[in-house]
Chain A
Amino acid sequence: MIKTEYDIVVVGGGPAGTTAARHAAEQGVSVAVFHRNNEIGAPVRCAEGISRFIIEKYLGKENIRDSWISSESDKCRLISPSGKIVDVHLKESGYILNRRIFDMDLADWAARKGAQIFTGAFVYHVEKHETHALVFIEQYGKKYQVKAKLVIAADGVESRIARFFGVKTQLRPCDIDSCAQVLATNIAMQKDRIDFWVSQKIAPGGYIWLFPKGDGIANIGIGISGQHNGEKNARQYLDEFLAVNFSEASILTNILGGVPVAEPLESFVADGLMIIGDAARVANPVTGEGIGPALSTGTRAGKVGGRAILEKDTSAKFLKAFEKEWRRDSGKYNGFFYRLKEVILNISDEELDRLAEKFADRDPVSITLTEVFRKVVWNKPKLLVDVARAFAGF
């Protein structure tokens, strides 16, 4: 039952929203999560990859369940436009999750700590007042009005909620990747390796990925820059790729989506508002990885948000602590990755082939992502230094 008043209202029941809700609820404040879709964790608009280090850091190694993990990869293959292969051994392995189960468990976890989760609950308007916000919700044809001291916007790529507080979250088309993905079976692949096809011809301004989900089953998807989405769209590019490379595949799921490949919002807070996850534009602009940043912003927002209620101060100034900490730690390379994206976006297919050539006949164990990206930005001294730092863990 939706109550008329909560300390904190979280909009969006993805990993960012439910993680924030859990950390806030643990402090004894009242929390409601409003999730638009009828089901938590579905549809899965995500390639489902996350680094093992990040998930362990934010959720705790002891809490990670086998059912969340579809597969583990410590190898990565880059395929150039003409089909040249660069195999890279990752220093740190990554998980391909099962988001349906993962998201559901995170929501369940938040609920067990005291947060109330509502599905099928669409927040259509928010009205900001001096000491609180009025949140307007529609759930199965019925309308509700809820008073909240603090709103946490975790509404994903759309990022509409923050706009009700006067925060400009609109993306330029060049700062969003337009994506299509299938979950496909009957795929010839290696189940401990993630593959990337980079080519302006097959994926302009982006790439095609294959993330293994198990034996012969994988997420295969494409992200193309919004500015290149012209005569052909993401879905058509992906269909063509599948017809050429995986003609025997059966498609079990078809999904469309988008990844903000932008710099993080200028500010993640306003009086009575915190913005987290994709809504704050914190996904990695090069890899598109967004689950890790969702957990890192969600964790900090939940902790600081809960404290804000207990200390009766939901001013932007108080809430800012969560953002400062994030920028110092998890977000310190986002700006660099954005600049790196701008470079990668403009590399021609000929140049990509030449780059791949430089790794011919090398032992994959000796190739690191640092080296790959160093070669990519060899003529950009400012970026070169950061490549070593940012990819140190990979």
Chain B
Amino acid sequence: MILTNKVLCDLCGNCVAVCPQSCIEINHYCLKISHEQCIECQNCVAVCPSAALKQVQDDKN
């Protein structure tokens, strides 16, 4: 699962630009990922200028 660190995120939109699934959206104040559609290609992680996005193991805990 891709997680967002809201402290590091500047809402620049690079992740939206490269998401093949179009499952990332930035409204006025936050970034939203639809995890059901996400294929974890990590394009968004690759282009984030501040490591605000990170892939983590799926763990309900």
Contacts and interface: CB of A to CB of B under 8 A. Distances in A.
A156 B26 CA distance: 12
Contacts of B28: 36-38, 120, 122
Given A178-B49, A229-B48, A233-B48, A170 B19 contact: yes
Contact of B17 (A138, A171, A229): A171
B43 A173 contact: yes
Interface in B1-41: 10, 12-14, 16-20, 22, 25-28
Interface residues of B, number: 21
Interface residues of A, number: 34
Contact of B48 (A124, A156, A172, A178): A178
B12 A170 contact: no
A227 interface: yes
Interface in A46-77: none
A32 interface: no
B27 A229 contact: no
Contact of A138 (B12, B27, B49, B51): B27
Contacts, number: 88
A203 B51 CA distance: 16
Contacts of A37: 28
B47 A178 contact: yes
B57 interface: no
Interface string B39-59: 000010011111100000000
A252 to B, nearest CB: 16
A389 B17 CA distance: 31
B35 to A, nearest CB: 18
A258 B15 CA distance: 9
Interface in A133-192: 138, 156-160, 163, 169-173, 176, 178-180
Counting chain B CB atoms within 10 Å of each CB, the highest count among A163, A234, A258 belongs to A258
Contacts of A156: 13
B18 A172 contact: yes
B14 A176 contact: yes
Contact of A160 (B10, B12, B25, B47): B25
A180 B49 contact: yes
Counting chain B CB atoms within 10 Å of each CB, the highest count among A36, A169, A173 belongs to A173
A277 interface: no
B49 A260 contact: no
A173 B50 contact: no
A160 B27 contact: no
Given A122-B28, A258-B12, A160 B51 contact: no
A62 B23 CA distance: 45
Contacts of B10: 255-257
Given A229-B49, A256-B12, A170 B27 contact: no
Contacts of A36: 26-28
A170 B17 CA distance: 6
A255 B49 CA distance: 10
Interface in A254-296: 255-258, 260
Given A38-B28, A160-B25, A176 B18 contact: yes
A341 interface: no
Nearest to B44: A173
A180 B8 CA distance: 12
Contacts of A84: none
A235 interface: yes
Contacts of B50: 180, 233-235, 256
20 contacts: A36-B27, A37-B28, A120-B28, A124-B25, A138-B27, A157-B12, A157-B13, A157-B17, A160-B25, A170-B17, A170-B18, A173-B43, A176-B14, A176-B47, A226-B14, A229-B48, A234-B49, A257-B10, A257-B13, A258-B13
Given A38-B28, A173-B46, 12 more contacts: A36-B27, A122-B27, A157-B17, A158-B13, A171-B17, A173-B47, A226-B47, A229-B49, A233-B48, A234-B49, A255-B12, A257-B12
